[in-house]
A and B are shown apart, each in its own frame.
Chain A
């Protein structure tokens, strides 16, 4: 278990608990009452800490190394029926973006998402979830495939940004994302987008134009990471906490500002504390919104989707 800096009090209690359990084991003395008491205390501590998270602390939770990534959600939500599909049919297969068909309660869904690596080797291969243009073009190919056969689309967003590499620029990173924004706004099938970790900038938005855009409780979504924002606006890396506050990037703020459609509650302590629970919650949310969206005609859905994004922004008209 990896503890974040602000989880130190929990870590200390956890260590105490381990010690107590060890003593109980060794001495064969019944300490269940004491153990139970300590467990309750840990839970209370966790509630206390997690009900008062700062924006920066949420960013930390969103990047927790044990947090489930896209493929784990897809595997669970589709009950293992997922068939991964590869390639953009032009340049290659980007491992930072995954996608394919899966079943959810008997209906076929196209699942797409950025995928971070689960170990050192895979983190390299998957470029930490930073897709190249091929990744966005693969995503679009799969979305068009879904549209052709009238299957709804669910995207999982978890990226520190689109990959800022030399070849990404050569192959038109900007064009690839732009194309997705335009094409996704016209998709005739229901589109649900769920931010499960980091939602950084155009790299996140590139698979984020949905009828419903939902954020898990401990995720962030903004135009830039707090670190980069700090370095540009404060000209120092030391203002990331301040930048995180200023950007209003939490699920709560994004929802309040009408920039996302809902928040999905996470297990106490974050999604990684109980993956099965968050998978079940996410599955239930997908089913709920799919049922809702299917009642609307394709034309109306597209109209409403475009209307929703068109209404975003705050301007004043001078007299």
Chain B
């Protein structure tokens, strides 16, 4: 449930802003401090060409990276969240939603689209961390559910790109039930033998990890991504000592047997294309 802490960070690095970065501006890698031109950085799929650090990006950038010629049709794009609990903490949930919509240019924390990847049909559901920490509420669940219906109807494989702090607390049990909903719908996809690939990106935590992110026919990840159920701070409190180096990184999760593969974002599209062909032929 670490999304709150990361909220600010997420917003300031939203893809919308990045897209609007004029040419000639610079990107400084937070990991190795090397400076790249924004254009070079974008051309390298927002991966530092020096050290391989994967910058967090959103659905706009992923769709552009993956879909052939950036051609895709967005699905169910007009869904927005209700406020069934009339939730209010230090702020009204409805105000939080309005602010997030305005600041991020998004309607919620996930977008779905279909198109072609190296000529292969694919539905992609991609989470946006810039929208309330990529938290999973009713819209995220409903969009995944409807995307699965679309996959079932058209016999199209599904890729879900996870990037989330977990459940959206302001939807309380409604949010919790999105775990049940998405997992139940994925069972239908499994029965229909339609491939489902889960891509875990930084960060994939909480209820998202405990539902669709871990249920792929293939679970893949970007290098260095934080992937876990309980947040690192909570685990640290539980064990009462410092966490081992690399705990809950993609490499750690692969070593423990829960990922099929770690794929560099610069190779993501080619790998996806090849895998989709292998499932088909």
Is residue B48 within 8 Å, beta carbon to beta carbon, of the partner chain? no
Within 8 A of A (CB), among B58-88: 78-85, 87-88
Within 8 A of A (CB), among B180-211: 180-181, 183-188, 190-191, 206-207, 209-211
Pick the residue among B1, B187, B235 that contacts A185 (CB under 8 A). B187
Is residue B276 within 8 Å, beta carbon to beta carbon, of the partner chain? no
Is residue B174 within 8 Å, beta carbon to beta carbon, of the partner chain? yes
**Main SS at interface, chain B:** helix
Q: Are A223 and B169 in touch, CB under 8 angstroms?
A: yes
Pick the residue among A165, A169, A306 that contacts B184 (CB under 8 A). A306
| Given A223-B175, A232-B1, A312-B181, CB of A164 within 8 Å of CB of B235 | yes
Pick the residue among A168, A174, A205, A317 that contacts B176 (CB under 8 A). A205
Contacts of B173 on A, CB cut-off 8 Å?
Answer: 221-223, 247-249, 254, 257, 259
- B interface bracket (residues with beta carbon within 8 Å of A): 35 or more
Q: Are B175 and A165 in touch, CB under 8 angstroms?
A: no
Q: Complex Cα distance A53/B88, Å?
A: 21
- A119 CB to closest chain B CB (Å) equals 22
Is residue B24 within 8 Å, beta carbon to beta carbon, of the partner chain? no
- A interface bracket (residues with beta carbon within 8 Å of B): 35 or more
Q: Are B89 and A234 in touch, CB under 8 angstroms?
A: yes
Tell me the number of A-to-B contacts counted with CB atoms below 8 Å. 207
Within 8 A of A (CB), among B217-269: 227-230, 234-235, 238-239, 243-244, 247-248, 256-258
Q: Complex Cα distance A164/B210, Å?
A: 13
Q: Are A222 and B176 in touch, CB under 8 angstroms?
A: yes
Contacts of B185 on A, CB cut-off 8 Å?
Answer: 306, 310
Q: Which of B82, B179, B227, B239 is most buried by chain A, counting CB atoms within 10 A of its CB?
A: B179
- B250 CB to closest chain A CB (Å) equals 13
Within 8 A of B (CB), among A156-171: 162-166, 168-171
Pick the residue among A202, A228, A243 that contacts B210 (CB under 8 A). A202
Q: Are A223 and B176 in touch, CB under 8 angstroms?
A: yes
Contacts of A243 on B, CB cut-off 8 Å?
Answer: 89
Q: Are B174 and A314 in touch, CB under 8 angstroms?
A: yes
Q: Are A315 and B138 in touch, CB under 8 angstroms?
A: yes
Q: Complex Cα distance A248/B175, Å?
A: 12
Q: Are B172 and A249 in touch, CB under 8 angstroms?
A: yes
Is residue A145 within 8 Å, beta carbon to beta carbon, of the partner chain? no
Q: Select the stretch in A24-32, A72-80, A175-183 that faces chain B.
A: A175-183
9 residue pairs A–B, Cβ–Cβ below 8 Å = A174-B228, A179-B214, A223-B167, A223-B207, A243-B89, A248-B85, A248-B172, A316-B80, A318-B107
Residues of B that sit less than 8 Å from A by CB: 1, 4, 78-85, 87-90, 107, 137-139, 141-142, 145, 167, 169-181, 183-188, 190-191, 206-207, 209-215, 227-230, 234-235, 238-239, 243-244, 247-248, 256-258
Residues of A that sit less than 8 Å from B by CB: 162-166, 168-175, 177-179, 181-183, 185-186, 201-202, 205-206, 208-209, 221-224, 228-229, 232-234, 242-243, 246-249, 254, 257, 259, 305-306, 309-310, 312-319
